[in-house]
Amino acid sequence: TDWSGTNEGQNLKVIPVCGSLPCWNSPNTGATNNSGFTALPSGLSWSGAFNDVGYSGHWWSSTESGTDAWERALHYSIAMVYRNNNDKANGYSIRCVKNN
């Protein structure tokens, strides 16, 4: 119950000052990075191919669902966080979290 969804994607996406890192394609809807998460559009990998760099970012959750697992995703033209159940063979980013 302590999670944010709907339009919170705008608070996670980095604004377009990326240097050598991949930047979000225009329009990068609502990007503010207010959360400090600095989400980059790394895309994803499935069936051995890399796709959607600049258009989307995908991160694995630690929550499994049978043989699959949950992921969170952001898209360049939408200011919301997606939650999807997907095959663990897909290549998504991870985010390490340090316990205090």
Mean pLDDT, 10 residues at a time, over the chain (100 residues)? Answer: 55 66 85 87 92 95 94 94 94 86
Please, which residues have CB within 8 angstroms of residue 34's CB and are 6 or more apart in sequence?
A: 10, 11
Looking at residue 42, its pLDDT comes to: 92
Residue-level pLDDT at 91: 96
pLDDT on residue 64: 95
Largest separation between any pair of C-alpha atoms in the chain: 40
pLDDT of residue 17: 58
Q: Quote the pLDDT of residue 1.
A: 41
